[in-house]
Chain A
Amino acid sequence: MPGRGMPMSRLKPRSEYEKTGSFRFWRWLAGSRDPYVGEVEMKAQIPKEPRELTIRERMQERQELLTRVYDIENNKKIAFFHRIYVLAAVVFCLCFAGILVAMVSMLPPTGEADRPVNNEVPARYIESGLQETGAVNIVTGMILDYRAFDTFGESNVLFAATTTVLILLHEKKKKREDGTFEEIPSDRLLEPKQDAILQASATVLVPVIILFGIYVILNGHLSPGGGFSGGAIIGAGLILYLSAFGFEKTEKLFTEKTYKYVSFGALTTYCLAKSYSFFTGANHLESHIPLGTPGAILSSGLILVLNICVGMVVACTMYTFYVMFRKGDF
């Protein structure tokens, strides 16, 4: 039965076309059939029936639950199991600590140069890192040039984590009868309102914090810091601004759309900047941008761009985490 959005073919009859792989692919792409239904055993979460309990009833239910879980005097089996479990856990932890410390005592001594960790790989990074990447800070040169794909994957981990938190903590707006949406009860009710000390100190601190974050990002290839730390500092500044002035002010600056566009744009820029070498032969990840003088801000090729991308992703991620934990919606 061809439904809406089902793929069609002009060359083959329908019964034959439905056996091909391309039919399944297009059907999956159109989303008209879930490939897991019928193939994988799935168990839906039982929806909890909303039940209005009085306070007394709820307390009584809780007491029953507590007796069932913790009735240690009467239920000898639970008490015995509890005691055995604690004993076994403590013994296991002590043995584990003993084994690990014994292992540490057999490792080569810390702080010596001829440990097996210090082989030719870090030597290469130190000796020719400046010429090959143009970054004065060797750690930044390493994670954003030699190992840039690693960092790209990590930015995607951040993006995936934010998406999951958005799914888990998102609160749907209830639609009223006249078409408008109900306001989500914000937790501003539980916060101190218009705190003068907090607002005064935030007025002074927020610009400085955000400016410092931008400095740390832009100087990532010259001094300690980089995209991760600078992004986290900017995110912390935004969070301070939010908790001092509330959602009405920050909504002008940062909404869900901002998050979408900024992180998608940053991740795409990163991906294109680093994966174009696949199309130019994929011999090595060499960029054709001049590296510039080491020590100048506009130097070291792509590293500055990648640092800014990573910083934007991290700042958006941190701020979105906090907003989702506070309110459940932007």
Chain B
Amino acid sequence: MGNLLVNYGEAAAMILFVIGFSNLLLHKNLIKKIIGLNIMDSAIYLFLAEKGYIAGRTVPIVVDGVQSVEAYINPIPAGLVLTGIVVSVSVSALMLSLTIRLYRRYHTLDLDEISTLLKKEGV
């Protein structure tokens, strides 16, 4: 078992990642696939934030001039995740706009149907 019971947060992040990945594999609907990708994003952010968390320490905002390392958690994962969250929005906006274009052309969201139609068109 190792540290599994202590690392429950990271284990949950990994299981979330796999759930998002199975959404990508098993669903044919493009919207469901995009939601799955977003869940995978969130799982990675959760994993990073759990890495930086230290029990018993507080937010890295300097209060009363206390500047010892023992007082604050690790600020680096927070910075990484902060930029990542905003980028993930633009990625999902891009994917959704591509989905709208596909729907306008083929009138369906099912990947199998789209690929059948593509074969019919000879692309």
Contacts and interface: CB of A to CB of B under 8 A. Distances in A.
A/B: CB atoms within 8 Å of each other: yes
Interface in B29-74: 50-57, 59-62, 67-72, 74
B10 A154 contact: no
Contacts of A189: none
Interface in B1-52: 1-4, 6-7, 9-11, 14-15, 17-18, 21-22, 25-26, 50-52
A85 B94 CA distance: 28
Contact of B61 (A92, A154, A168, A223): A223
Interface in B60-93: 60-62, 67-72, 74-79, 82-83, 85-87, 89-91, 93
Interface residues of B, number: 65
Given A117-B74, A123-B69, A223-B61, A110 B105 contact: no
Interface stretch (A32-40, A95-103, A210-218): A95-103
A43 B123 CA distance: 9
A320 to B, nearest CB: 9
Interface string A105-142: 11111111101011001110111111000001111001
A138 B7 contact: no
Contacts of B91: 161
Interface of A: 43, 46, 48, 65-66, 68-70, 86, 89-90, 92-93, 96-97, 100-101, 103-113, 115, 117-118, 121-123, 125-130, 136-139, 142-143, 147, 150-151, 154, 157-158, 161-162, 164-165, 168-169, 223-224, 226, 228, 232, 294, 314, 317-318, 321, 324-325
B83 A151 contact: yes
Given A117-B76, A168-B101, A325-B93, 8 more contacts: A65-B113, A90-B26, A100-B17, A139-B82, A151-B83, A164-B94, A168-B97, A228-B86
Contacts of A314: 86
A165 B93 contact: yes
B79 A93 contact: no
B100 A138 contact: no
A154 B86 contact: yes
B79 A143 contact: yes
Given A138-B75, A321-B93, A113 B61 contact: no
Task: Pick the 9 closest A-B CB pairs, nearest first.
Answer: A161-B90, A111-B55, A105-B2, A100-B14, A105-B4, A138-B60, A109-B6, A97-B18, A89-B25
A158 B86 contact: yes
Given A93-B25, A165-B94, A126 B67 contact: yes
A169 B61 contact: no
Interface string B94-114: 101110110001001010110
Nearest to A114: B54
19 contacts: A69-B116, A93-B22, A100-B15, A109-B3, A117-B77, A123-B69, A126-B71, A126-B75, A136-B62, A138-B72, A139-B82, A150-B83, A154-B87, A158-B87, A161-B90, A165-B93, A168-B101, A224-B59, A321-B89
B46 to A, nearest CB: 12
Interface of B: 1-4, 6-7, 9-11, 14-15, 17-18, 21-22, 25-26, 50-57, 59-62, 67-72, 74-79, 82-83, 85-87, 89-91, 93-94, 96-98, 100-101, 105, 108, 110, 112-113, 116-117, 121, 123
A107 B83 contact: no
Contacts, number: 183
Given A136-B62, A147-B79, A161-B93, A110 B50 contact: yes
Given A122-B76, A154-B87, A325-B100, A89 B22 contact: yes
Nearest to A221: B61
Contacts of A157: 87, 90
Contact of A107 (B10, B52, B78): B10
B86 A96 contact: no
